[in-house]
Amino acid sequence: MVLLEIRWHGRGGQGAKTAALLFADAAVETGKYIQAFPEYGPERMGAPVFAFNRLSDEPILQHCGIKNPDIVVVLDSTLMETIDVTEGLKEDGILLVNTQKTSKEIREQLKIKSEKTRIYVVDASKIAKEILKMDIPNTPMLGALIKVSKLLEFEPMLESVRKRLEHKFPNRPDVVENNIKAIIRAYEEVKE
């Protein structure tokens, strides 16, 4: 695999950084070389934030920012009103959005002309609210990303996320299980 670059858009508190770390963790378990890094600005709850991933079969040497991602993941669709989430996205790249809208509506809203750009949607907030009882869409979006990117195998990824969450929430098996459920549901529900 050639070097693949992902940009996550979220708002402070939505877990964009955590999702990027979970994704990297899972990819390492399958033998890939990875990077996951946040872009730290004057961070506050609710402010727009970015996180990034690099993924390759070869060692990754560069430590610069990512300007032309292959995949953009949007955790909060209201960001699209103020930020150009497609900035620098490769023409044949993938845009994955947490939204109630259809991919056609997103394509029109963002005026994406190239048919080569694939757009996927999933209502990750609904999934998060129903299963996690709060609007933290990062783990469901991770499930959707695995589906649309076809980069990693699903089952090993689930196991890796489970391990990381168990480490993070040692006394909350319910939190771990619900996140896993949310990932599976988003994996199933994401569509073009």
Partner 1 sequence: MIVARTGNEAMAEAMRQINPDVVAAYPITPATEIVQHFASYVADGLVTTEYVPAESEHSALSACIGAAAAGARVMTATAAQGLALMHEMLFIASGMRLPIVLCLVNRALSSPINIHCDHSDSLASRDSGWLQIFTENPQEAYDTTIMAVKIAEEILLPVMVTTDGFIISHGMERVELIDDDKVPEWLGERKAPYTLLDVDNPITIGMLDLQDYYFEHKRQEIEAMNNALPVIEKVQKDFGDTFGRYYPIVDEYRMEDAEVAVLVMGSTGGTGKVAVDRMRKKGKKVGLVRCRVYRPFPRERMLKAITKVKVLGIMDRADTLSTLGGHLYNDCRSILYESEARPLLKNYIYGLGGRDISIEEIETVFEQLLEIKERGRVDKEIVYYGVRGE
To the nearest 10°, the Cα dihedral for 7, 12, 18, 20?
0
Q: How far apart are CA 149 and CA 19, in angstroms?
A: 15
Task: Please identify which residue in 13, 33, 109, 189 interacts with partner 1, judged by CB under 8 A.
Answer: 33
Gap between the Cα atoms of 36 and 22, Å rounded: 9
Tokens of 36: 């996951």
Is residue 38 a contact point for partner 1 (CB under 8 A)? yes
Q: Say if CB 26 and CB 163 are below 8 A apart.
A: no
Task: Look up residue 3 and give its two tokens.
Answer: 């070097």
Q: Which range in 30-38, 70-78, 105-113, 146-154 contacts partner 1 by CB under 8 A? A: 30-38
Among residues 37 and 154, whose Cβ is nearest to partner 1? 37
45 vs 61 by CB, closer to partner 1:
61
Total residue length of the chain: 192
- Minimum distance between the CB of residue 45 and partner 1, rounded to whole angstroms? 17
Of 52, 112, 123, 109, give the one whose Cα is nearest residue 87. 112
Binding flag, residue 27, partner 1 (CB under 8 A): yes
Candidate list 2, 45, 62, 111; residue touching partner 1; CB under 8 A: 62
The helix/strand/coil state of 101 is coil
Q: Does 37 bind partner 1 (CB under 8 A)?
A: yes
Determine which residue in the list 1, 46, 65, 153 makes contact with partner 1, applying CB under 8 A.
65
From 17-25, 78-86, 91-99, 135-143, span contacting partner 1 (CB under 8 A): 17-25
Exposed / middle / buried, residue 63 (Cβ in 10 Å: 0-12, 13-18, 19+): exposed
- Closest approach, Cβ 52 to partner 1, in A, equals 9
Shortest distance in whole angstroms from residue 64 CB to partner 1: 5
Binding site for partner 1 (CB under 8 A): 20-21, 24-25, 27-28, 32-38, 40, 60-65, 67
